[in-house]
Structure 1
Amino acid sequence: MISLAFTKGQGTGNDFVLFTDPDGEIDLSPAQIRALCDRRFGVGADGVIRAVRSRALPEGAAALAEEPEAEWFMDYWNADGTPAEMCGNGVRVYAHYLISEGLVPAERSDTLPIGTRAGVKDVLQTSSGYTVDLGPWRLAPERLVAARGLDVARPGLGIDLGNPHLVVALADPGELDALELHRAPAMDPAPERGANVEFVVAEEPLLQHGAACIRMRVHERGVGETQSCGTGAAAAALAFRHWGGEGMPTSWRVEVPGGRLQVRMFPTATGEHVSLGGPAELVYSGTIELA
């Protein structure tokens, strides 16, 4: 048995089990991760985040090569025990955890670089939570998406943010509410690594107080339907702007079942980046025995 000290955290309802392992000495198996995330017999979460120093694991070498100050790596695992490249809500909660646990100085006013399997992500603490620069993005191939509650398969626009997404536009809120996302949508052709699938509708009116407003539900690969998906919110905003063409705004508000997220697109010397802002909360801490 292993006795694991953990903290439960959430960002717009996307919830995580976090634990500290600075030197990479705790190697949880996929079965142990599934047990932690089980909502009946475990703590319950959409994923597990290990706080580990970048130098302590092979994936961290690339992060340190990209940014030598990326001391901490977000070792993120989906609820089904599979590793994931990144999580937009998770990286905000992780930054809050590092600060709250005293692993990084609480008084720092600049961005906090965090290593992930999708590269280094810079997180900034704000008055309303945390904002993360998700970095560059790119269009990916379209695929047909079929889901329970849809009368016919719909085209999904591929958006790659370091992790893969398919964004499906729906005609009205009724279609969005009718979806049954307890089963994974079918994608044709099926992506080799799978994909998160976002179903989105525009709010009425679309433009409110200088921002475009959309509403989203998501099925996350390796998890199921979640209350929120940070990179999914960014992908949904990027897809809508792509469909809208010239004149679409760069500031977006994305309503998810678990709350509200802010997305912004902005130019950099290396191309366009997209940022994600929203709350992060640590709910409780405890200890659990794992077989």
Structure 2
Amino acid sequence: MKNVRFAKYQGAGNDFILLDARHDAPALTRPEIRALCERRFGIGADGLMTLENSATPGCDFRMRYYNADGGESTMCGNGGRCIVRFADHLGIGGRVKRFDSSDGIHTAELLDDRLVRLQMIDTGAPEKLADGRSWFLFTGSPHYVEFTDRLDGLDVERLGATIRRRADFEAIGGTNVNFVEVAGEGRIRVRTFERGVEAETWACGTGVTAAALVTHAVRQPECFDFTVETRGGILGVTFAETETGTFADIRLTGPAERIFEGEIEI
């Protein structure tokens, strides 16, 4: 048996288990992580993160992210904001924190007791896919983006599961799938099917970032500041475009809040 101290946080309904692994946190197996994330018999979460000591000079900590299926995964934008709030509750760093993750170094700013602004990695231009109606973009995690005029009526679970496992994404272990409805200038609505969770989540930070960048590239080239509505709340995405069509200074802003904390025996 292991006794594990944990905290649970959420960012726009995207919920996470967080562990302080700087000192003596137990090593968890993939089945144990999966059991902790299970909603009926565990704590319940879209993913689990460990906050670890960083070997990178100037970084306050390292973020390691695991999907609900127990497998270690790529960057999570909502998770990044939540782990920054967790670090603050642990007394790590100041109002602006710097950490490293699977996709590189991130800086984040605590705006108030609810909102956190996270700097995402620079990314290239969206790739138009062979079907002629969708795009692919890596924003710390891989994302498929497709526009729709009927977001509320989509069967995101069925469509997302099919696209996520398409042969053209097999080499990267599958992709996250985003459906986007343009609601106005600088306003979009997004629903996301996440790999590793294998279901629709209430929000996806790297997903809404990809959705905003693709919307700029193909629908609203004059807009660099997007308000994004998800099932779990509102997120903001701002960015700059370089002369070569790539994106820099990408910022994801949204809530990051502690729900509860405790100890569980596994």
TM-score, normalised with respect to structure 1: 0.83
Does 1:83 find its partner at 2:72? yes
Equivalent of residue 176 in structure 2, options 188, 196, 199: 196
5+ unaligned residues in a row in structure 1: which ranges?
A: 56-63, 145-152
Q: 2:115 aligns with which of 129, 133, 138?
A: 129
* Counterpart for residue 252 of structure 2: 276
d(CA) in 1 for partners of 2:155 and 2:192?
10
> Which residue among 147, 171, 188 is the counterpart of 1:214?
188
> 2: CA distance between counterparts of 1:130 and 1:156?
30
Task: Tell me how far 1:23 sits from its aligned partner.
Answer: 3.7
Query: Offset of 1:51 from its aligned partner?
Result: 1.1
Aligned to 1:97: 86
The match for 2:224 among 250, 256, 266 is: 250
Q: CA deviation at 1:192?
A: 1.7
Aligned residues: 258
**What amino acid maps onto 1:262 in structure 2?**
G
1:117 to 93, 98, 102: 102
Counterpart Cα distance in 2 of 1:258 and 1:280 = 12
How many Å apart are 1:191 and its aligned residue?
3.7
Q: Cα distance, 1:257 vs. partner?
A: 0.1
Q: Secondary structure at 2:133's aligned position in 1?
A: strand
Q: Return the alpha-carbon distance in structure 2 between the equivalents of residues 241 and 4 of structure 1.
A: 44
Are 1:34 and 2:34 counterparts?
yes
Q: How far did 1:268 drift?
A: 8.1
| 8 A Cα contact 2:4 2:25, kept in partner | no
Q: Quote the residue 1:58 is aligned against.
A: none
RMSD, aligned α-carbons: 2.2
* 1:176, distance to aligned residue in structure 2 (A): 4.0
**TM-score, structure 2 as length reference:** 0.90
State the alpha-carbon separation in 2 of the partners of residues 19 and 198 from structure 1. 29
Identity of aligned residues (%): 33
The CA deviation string for residues 130-156 of structure 1, in whole angstroms up to 9 with x for no partner, is 001102012354446xxxxxxxx8832
Contact 1:143-1:188 within 8 A present in 2 as well: no
Show structure 2 runs of 5+ residues with no match: none
Which protein is richer in strand relative to its size? Answer: 1
Please tell me the residue identity of whatever aligns with 2:20. Answer: T
